[in-house]
Amino acid sequence: MTDSVNSSARFLIVGPQGSGKGTQGVRIAAAFHIPVVSTGDVFRANVAAGTPLGQKVQAIIEAGDLVPDELTSEIVRDRLSQADAADGFLLDGYPRNLGQVSDLDDFLRGRDESLDAVIELRVPREESIARLSLRAQEQGRTDDTEEVIANRLGIYERETAPILGVYGERGIVDTIDGVGSLDEITDRIVAALEARGLIRTAAA
């Protein structure tokens, strides 16, 4: 990281369930040498390990509802306070509503930091439903049943999509077509970030 030219890479990746944001988030974070912080992964790991947090959130996740903002934002603040996130991070699955946007704003303002880009992955609803049913067969995630998927997509449209309006006003949203091969989509995202002057480090 010594020859890094840009001083920070603070990104969000936003998209409906089945948009491929988890997969692309990992790829983009690797390219920029920053950690991925996925709130869904944190919750699932805690459920699997049976921690007190896991016990608290298990039923919420299985219903596809949102974990309360206070709890979620605290987890994110703790994680972003770790040393490896000092110069950059990619948040996947957070913020997920306007309250969380404001929590994140407060946190970053307190550190004199701001977001560099919000990557919006767009896929048609039918495509995202098709991908989710495939994932349900392959991975058997307990929140990938038809009913819970419908709930999660509804929450995305009502609560999460509006955050793009807020970030859009700040001029930091890059809307990316999420249909194509994995490599094509990664290339589109990297090109959009580079067009903002966010350059990958030489070690990539």
Handedness of CA 62, 66, 70, 72 (dihedral sign): positive
65: which DSSP letter? Answer: P
* Residue 10 binds ligand ADP, judged by CB under 6 A: no
State the residue number with the nearest CB to ligand ADP.
Answer: 40
Q: How far is the CB of 21 from ligand ADP (least distance, A)?
A: 7
3-state secondary structure of 171: coil
Size of the site for ligand ADP (CB under 6 A): 17
3-state secondary structure of 117: strand
Task: State which of positions 16-75 bind ligand ADP (CB under 6 A).
Answer: 17, 39-40, 43, 60-61, 64-67, 72
Q: Which of 20, 25, 88, 93 binds ligand ADP (CB under 6 A)?
A: 93
Q: How far is the CB of 33 from ligand ADP (least distance, A)?
A: 23
* Residue 94 binds ligand ADP, judged by CB under 6 A: yes
Q: Tell me which residues are annotated as active site.
A: 21, 96, 135, 141, 152
The arrangement of strands across the sheet holding 173-177 comes to 36-38, 88-92, 9-14, 117-122, 173-177
What is the three-state SS of 10-56? EEEEECCCCCCHHHHHHHHHHHHCCCEEEHHHHHHHHHHHCCHHHHH
Per-residue mark of binding to ligand ADP, 105-144 (x: CB under 6 A)? --------------------------------------x-
The structure tokens listed for 19 are 């948009």
Residues near ligand ADP (CB under 6 A): 17, 39-40, 43, 60-61, 64-67, 72, 93-94, 96, 100, 143, 152
